Structure 1
Amino acid sequence: MAPAQIFSIVSTIAALQWVLLIIFPKWQVTQWLIRNRVVPLLLSVIYCVYITGFFSIQGGGFNSIQEVRRLFADDGLLLAGWVHYLAFDLLIGFSILKSAQEKAISHWLIIPCLLLTFMFGPVGYLLYQAIQKIKTINI
């Protein structure tokens, strides 16, 4: 399957998982998917398949921005980078949701954190950390 097709599939799968986290966080299916980390595991397998192309890119690497640019010029490695983002952002989303549920933080406060984590990774995580600190001060 072409990288563009895989891109569409993994993006859809990740988006569906985010919908479950945001809209149906306590649903048994959502909780099962989180507990077993099904989607990040699937994405990790796909990542492993595509990252193997790393070894065939002449002049590519992680020591300079130019080397990284060479890696991402290859569609397979660009896909691997995208899948990497999808998997790790989901894991952060899972940890935010679990932490908020354990600390009885309103899901309404967590929704912006999850949306921002989905779209801008570290921004959502940072917002959750701020909310968590404010909530512990007020308790």
Structure 2
Amino acid sequence: MWQTVFVVTNGIALAAWAMLVVAPRKPFPLAYVLYGGVGLLCLCYAAMFVGLFAMVADPVRDPGLAPADLSNYSVAGLKDLFRSEGAIVLGWTHYLALDLFTGLWIARDADAKGFPRLVQAPFLVLTLLAGPLGLFVWLAVRERRARASGWRRKGKTGAG
């Protein structure tokens, strides 16, 4: 069961990422990425979360392990918690949803700051592959343009 959920959530994410990178930035593709991608992944995550923590869904823990101790908030406790198929797929879906949301924000921010789509693509791919690294690099690159844009606006309005 968990392998199927893993395949489905990855399919949702990849379809949304493909649309984000290659489709025109018009209302329908952006809504698809937000609701059909991020929203659907969040719904999958919520269903898995409730199922696992209400003990309705079998987490399929590694053989011979006792149930995870949810009160052990430490590296060892998290390592033990993630020794199940359900927890791994839950955690992976968490990454997929938040990385896709981050990619959507980057794309919208880059559009607003006048970055061409070809320039945006590497940041989006890096965010897909290594979410926080892609976001960090984007923030470093956008800062200069954001400051220049803000300063130009100040000069045009005469504000201080």
Q: TM-score, normalised by structure 1?
A: 0.86
Match of 2:158 in 1: none
Paired residue secondary structure (1:44): helix
Counterpart in the other structure of 2:132: 122
- Measure the CA separation in 1 of the matches of 2:140 and 2:101: 19
Cα 1:23–1:130 change in 2 (3 A) is same
Kindly report the root-mean-square deviation, in angstroms, between the aligned alpha carbons of the 2 structures. Answer: 2.0
Q: Contact 2:23–2:29 at 8 Å: present in 1 too? A: yes
Cα 1:45/1:11, change in 2 over 3 Å:
same
**Which letter maps to 2:105?**
S
What is residue 107 of structure 1 aligned with on the other side? 117
Gaps of 5+ in 1: none
Q: CA deviation at 1:112?
A: 0.8
Long gaps (5+) in structure 2:
56-66, 150-160
- C-alpha change, 1:61 and 1:17, in structure 2 (3 Å) is farther
Matched position secondary structure for 1:16: helix
Mark the CA change 1:44 to 1:62 in structure 2 (over 3 Å): closer, same or farther: farther
Identical positions, percent: 25
CA contact (8 A) 1:93 1:117 kept: yes
1:39 partnered with 2:49: no
When normalised by structure 2's length, the TM-score is 0.76
Residues 1:74 and 2:72 are matched in the alignment: no
Whole-Å Cα distance in 2 between the matches of residues 30 and 12 of structure 1? 16
Distance 1:25 1:131 in 2: 23
In structure 2, relative to structure 1, the CA distance for the partners of 1:31 and 1:55 (3 Å cut) is closer
How many residues align? The count is 137
User: 2:141 is matched with which residue: 115, 126, 131?
Assistant: 131
- 8 Å CA contact 2:70, 2:77 repeated in 1: yes
